[in-house]
Structure 1
Amino acid sequence: MHRPTLLTCLTALSSWTAIPAIALAVGGPPGSQPLQNANHIFNAIHASMRQWDTISDIGWMAFDPEHAMVFARPASKTPRGQPDQSGSQHVMTSADEKNEAGWLHTYVTTNDLRLVYIDGTSAGKSHIGTLDLQDRVLFEDKLESGGVTQESQRARAACQIAQEEWNGRIDGVIRMAAGFEIILCKPEQMLEPVHIVRAKFPSQDKGNQGGKPGELLRTVTSRYHGIGGDRVIINYDSFVTAYDYDLDLFPLDSNLPRLDHLPASSLAPIRENLTELIMTHDVTDRLVNWQAIADMVVEKYGRSLRSLASGHHHHHHDVPLQSMTNEVARILSPFIDQDYEDIQGEIERCSTQFLPAHAPEDSLAYRSIYTVTRRICTTLVDVSQTEDYHTATTILHNLMHYLDWTVWKECHGCQDDEFCAIPIWPQGTQEDHHHPHCQKFDNAYEGVSGYWAPVWR
């Protein structure tokens, strides 16, 4: 099966909440001013893409059959012969649907697809900002306000832009709600049918209160750490993110970034730069897998930082600091020249450990990862020189707050019939966001799902 090649338009990312985020970025290559919001951009790189009747015209495609089967069911109670005007994704059904089954279509692509990836839960129909980038930037406030009811219009608008403004250089858009989906503009030209079958999910536990089928949750949560199989390749050397503009994206110190309060004129440069990227990008360019590099940084420092900041050191008053500084010395030892003391040289060697020697230093991904690793290495040196245990612990907590890595929210000890429950649109609570915990696949998210607010119809 051919794989999509993505020109990325990153709107934000915390992989556990996956809400579109946007913010300010200023900086340059190593040695210059640190890149502001590098932590947000680093996390976007680290967490991206980690959670089909023979059709014509525009179509929604799921990567996994369990996701597609959600739509392989009878439509809502629309009178027979009357078209569905809801504007939502199509449900594949026949005229006679007495047994609640529908049609599941499986296709392969005829060639590699070029797609724009809109990061975050950009297919979530929510008032909390998931659709901000699409409605305000991509569609320039030209669509009527709406969530589910405007999805068909969003798809057609995206494909119109792809054809008329981008000269057909883009085949569609990839977004995430519960699973990842592709809005494909010309499916009749891009797909070959493999098989078409009548299918339905087995009856689920009534206690699930209309939630996602357990089998879908099994599939969705198996993608927490990547969609797998190199099915999607993201270009991290050239992408557009609202973090890279001088915009007030966290009004009134809100936790979630928004675009809804900004004037259209301030958002126009984002769209212009996206168009420039699409029109000039050469898919044959050599790509650096910046996500793999971000992964190495998280794998190297994630457990160590949590352990250092946890306070789980010796109980004697004068020992914890020594224990902490000994651990920091162990982490920094590969970068220290015992014959020549050079703190800045140590920080630089530590900061560039995982950066490819010939990678473009002016790329946003390079600058973001460098800024983050330099912050980590500088903090470790500061801790090693601190003479007060409480101060050292505070420094580490501040670093962890800045990094905000998803690895620190992962559940531990889930059984085989459980998963780490985070807010997965449209279900989940604030508690699931702040303190994810193990829940059973077949009766998860019971009670009120307040994280996303009501589904935007």
Structure 2
Amino acid sequence: MGAQLWRLASLLAAVAAPMTLATTTTTTKAAGSDNESLRTSDAAARLRGPEIFNAVHHAMRQWGSSLHHNGMSFYVATVPEGVLFHHGNHSPDSPAEPDWLAYEIEHAENFARSGPRGPPGGGGGDKGGGPPPPPSPHSGGDDAVEPEPWEPSQYQAVMGAAKPDEPGPRGGDEEPAHGYLHTYKTTRPLQFLYIDGMSGGKTSMGTLDTQDYLLRGMNSSTIAQQQASGKPPKPRGPRVKGAKGAKGGGPMGERERAVALCALCKEWDLQGVIRMEAGFEIIKCDFSDGLEAVQVLQRPDKQDRGGGGGGGGGGGGGPHRRKWTLNSVEYARGISERYQGIGASRTLVDYSSMVSAFFYPVDLSNPDPRRPDLPRLSSVSAADLALIKKDLGAVIAERRGPSTLSGSGGAVDWQGVSDMIVGRYADRIQFMAQKIDSMEQMTQMVDFLLTLYIDYSEAEPSKPAAVQRCRDFYLSTVHPVTEADRLIKAGFEVVTNQICTSLFEVRDLLTETSPGSLPMWALPAAKVVMHDLMKFLQWTRFKRCPPCSVSEICLIPMWPMGTVEEYNAPRCTDGSDAEDGIPYWEWGGPGEKPPHKS
């Protein structure tokens, strides 16, 4: 009788936050909007609960933002006074136009090297937020072929360089240009728009969707032209103020993109945008506002680039023999220090300011059938995107300013809540799904996780009450302040409800009969429940490497480097093991095929 009551109660508990496991292996389609009536929706937030949870959990974290790289969300973010940033270029002068700042020394050092002068877009130049498409890698993988050396800077292009026919330090065949490493500190708290995911990655996979489709109002045809040519086509629709006369430069219209984003930031009274590639960066719209130069030093004209293997950029379909230099290994090591956070409170994200396409009943499906797991904005109407952008402007106007700068704006630390949930359940769920091989051990683990929520003073403990306690345990003390808080909480409730109902389902499987008489299928059935839960959650913690040695890093694809194999199974490496691999990132050049996930 007790088991039957539990089973009936399980059905009742599921009503509280309905969600099917099948929706999590693909990016879901929400009902189409009626344009003018487009509003944020609790139903949409519940439908995309795992995506909302993961977006919050990965904010300003290199690991999760690299594996779930198609960001769909924006936040107001504050950089406190006294934070150091770095910039590498070929001039001792600070940029006079919008340009980039790196959070990490290793990131900026790659672009502070001496090298041949030449036109924008060539290797060894200043960094403008990312690389243009590299040559298609050779196919094959013959062990007799020497691995190709790879440097992050070899594919980078300047953001604000002069054109080849314009005067300037890069405009001729003169002696090699010197490299300069600039270090700045913030002189007061500065507020930025944080664009999540791999938003600094110049790919045609959707990493730029929130910038090009939503913020810039471009359409698929102009974006496709931009991807194929590497040149910035003129966006259709209303021109963004301040974008007129922008110079070319950088891959896939990066210079034009930076100028357009800074024009928006000027309207919104923000300092620029925070993005991520292989390392977090800021597009700072005005270097003279809020920054003080700490030092500007010329780098050695010739550097010992070291040796070693590994690495790799994106671009084509066949296997590619890769080799890392010492500099590229140490660059990756520096970036890997930010896998779980930017560190030292260098950037404070206002989670209560979140504006996300996941909040709206719009179609985020991917037209590429190979990657249904990646959300896209390519099927969302221009009118709907404009309304989301309008909402974003309203939220920024509400959340920026002294209250959020001082931390008194009532923001909820949703990432802290997500950390508590992931910390309690992630490793145990994975252990139950993949490692446990006895019913006794499975029973002990599930009892350990659920005993907290069961009132044993009752003759027949109420399962709905127990599931609700479990679901709300980490959410009960959270008091939503903004609309974003309410929608985030709705998404989080779906996640915690699925965790709790899955665990109680396993408990039911293992306690239906008397001890010692469980059917042989009970343990495999319990493991299936846990496997399905892992698929539903899509937590990137499940892909963690085992502990690496002190000489190694756990390597994942971080634009512009990485392979399909490293995406599917991140690995420890010290860069000495050059190996074949299919480049992960799609550059959008003619004839290139999209990467796939096995």
Report the Cα distance in structure 1 between the residues aligned to 2:289 and 2:118, rounded to whole angstroms.
Answer: 31
> Could you tell me whether the CA contact under 8 Å between 2:117 and 2:177 is conserved in 1?
no
> Could you tell me whether the CA contact under 8 Å between 1:24 and 1:242 is conserved in 2?
no
Q: Deviations over 1:360-400 (max 9, x none)?
A: 18522222222211111111111111253332222211111
Q: State the Cα distance separating 1:425 from its structure 2 match.
A: 0.8
Q: Structure 1 235/24 Cα, relative in aligned 2: closer, same or farther at 3 Å?
A: farther
> Could you tell me whether the CA contact under 8 Å between 1:24 and 1:244 is conserved in 2?
no
Aligned to 1:364: 487
> Could you tell me whether the CA contact under 8 Å between 2:417 and 2:474 is conserved in 1?
yes
Indicate which of 88, 97, 111 corresponds to 2:158. Answer: 88
Please say if 1:113 is aligned against 2:190. yes
Superposition RMSD in Å: 3.2
Secondary structure in 1 matching 2:46: coil
Aligned to 2:138: none
Aligned to 2:389: 271
Q: Structure 1 435/198 Cα, relative in aligned 2: closer, same or farther at 3 Å?
A: same
Aligned to 1:199: 299
Please say if 1:453 is aligned against 2:586. yes
Aligned to 1:126: 203
Using the size of structure 2 for normalisation, the TM-score is: 0.65
- Judge which range, 289-298 or 143-152, deviates more: 143-152
- Judge which range, 292-301 or 339-348, deviates more: 339-348
Please say if 1:177 is aligned against 2:277. yes
Q: Structure 1 413/251 Cα, relative in aligned 2: closer, same or farther at 3 Å?
A: closer
Report the Cα distance in structure 2 between the residues aligned to 1:98 and 1:303, rounded to whole angstroms.
Answer: 56
Q: State the Cα distance separating 1:454 from its structure 2 match.
A: 3.5
Alignment of structure 1 residues 302-341 onto 2, 5 Å: 302-314=426-438, 320=439, 322-340=440-458, 341=461
Aligned to 1:379: 502
Please say if 1:138 is aligned against 2:178. no
Secondary structure in 1 matching 2:201: coil
- Judge which range, 97-106 or 415-424, deviates more: 97-106
Please say if 1:280 is aligned against 2:398. yes
Aligned to 2:416: 292
> Could you tell me whether the CA contact under 8 Å between 1:39 and 1:372 is conserved in 2?
yes
Secondary structure in 1 matching 2:393: helix
Report the Cα distance in structure 2 between the residues aligned to 1:280 and 1:34, rounded to whole angstroms.
Answer: 22
Q: Which amino acid aligns with 1:347?
A: V
Report the Cα distance in structure 1 between the residues aligned to 2:365 and 2:545, rounded to whole angstroms.
Answer: 28
**Unaligned 5+ runs, structure 2:** 1-26, 32-39, 63-86, 88-92, 133-156, 163-167, 231-250, 311-322, 513-521, 591-598
Q: Which amino acid aligns with 2:477?
A: A
Report the Cα distance in structure 1 between the residues aligned to 2:59 and 2:491, rounded to whole angstroms.
Answer: 15
Secondary structure in 2 matching 1:66: helix
Q: Deviations over 1:227-271 (max 9, x none)?
A: 100001111122111111222222466232222243322322221
Q: Which amino acid aligns with 2:218?
A: D
Secondary structure in 2 matching 1:363: helix
Report the Cα distance in structure 2 between the residues aligned to 1:303 and 1:376, rounded to whole angstroms.
Answer: 13
Question: What is the aligned residue count?
Answer: 423
Q: Which amino acid aligns with 1:335?
A: Y
Aligned to 1:3: none
> Could you tell me whether the CA contact under 8 Å between 2:309 and 2:577 is conserved in 1?
no
Aligned to 2:58: 47
Secondary structure in 2 matching 1:236: strand
Aligned to 1:317: none
> Could you tell me whether the CA contact under 8 Å between 2:103 and 2:281 is conserved in 1?
yes
Q: Which amino acid aligns with 1:216?
A: Y
Q: State the Cα distance separating 1:122 from its structure 2 match.
A: 0.7
Indicate which of 566, 577, 580 corresponds to 1:432. Answer: 566
Report the Cα distance in structure 1 between the residues aligned to 2:491 and 2:262, rounded to whole angstroms.
Answer: 31
Indicate which of 346, 349, 369 corresponds to 2:469. Answer: 349
Indicate which of 203, 219, 222 corresponds to 2:337. Answer: 222
Q: Structure 1 79/290 Cα, relative in aligned 2: closer, same or farther at 3 Å?
A: closer
Q: State the Cα distance separating 1:330 from its structure 2 match.
A: 1.5
Q: Which amino acid aligns with 2:258?
A: A
Aligned to 1:213: 328
Q: Structure 1 396/310 Cα, relative in aligned 2: closer, same or farther at 3 Å?
A: same
Aligned to 2:75: none
Report the Cα distance in structure 1 between the residues aligned to 2:45 and 2:205, rounded to whole angstroms.
Answer: 30
Q: Structure 1 89/57 Cα, relative in aligned 2: closer, same or farther at 3 Å?
A: closer
Aligned to 1:38: 49
Q: Which amino acid aligns with 1:43?
A: N
Using the size of structure 1 for normalisation, the TM-score is: 0.83
Report the Cα distance in structure 1 between the residues aligned to 2:353 and 2:582, rounded to whole angstroms.
Answer: 37
Report the Cα distance in structure 2 between the residues aligned to 1:157 and 1:270, rounded to whole angstroms.
Answer: 18
Q: Which amino acid aligns with 1:366?
A: K
Q: Structure 1 88/346 Cα, relative in aligned 2: closer, same or farther at 3 Å?
A: same
**Unaligned 5+ runs, structure 1:** 1-20, 315-319
- Judge which range, 178-187 or 252-261, deviates more: 252-261
Secondary structure in 2 matching 1:247: coil
Q: State the Cα distance separating 1:89 from its structure 2 match.
A: 2.7
Please say if 1:103 is aligned against 2:103. no
Indicate which of 89, 104, 107 corresponds to 1:64. Answer: 104
Q: State the Cα distance separating 1:74 from its structure 2 match.
A: 4.0
Q: Structure 1 391/448 Cα, relative in aligned 2: closer, same or farther at 3 Å?
A: closer
**Which is higher, the Rg of structure 1 or of structure 2?**
2
- Judge which range, 286-295 or 253-262, deviates more: 253-262
Please say if 1:393 is aligned against 2:518. no
> Could you tell me whether the CA contact under 8 Å between 1:71 and 1:90 is conserved in 2?
no
> Could you tell me whether the CA contact under 8 Å between 1:426 and 1:455 is conserved in 2?
no
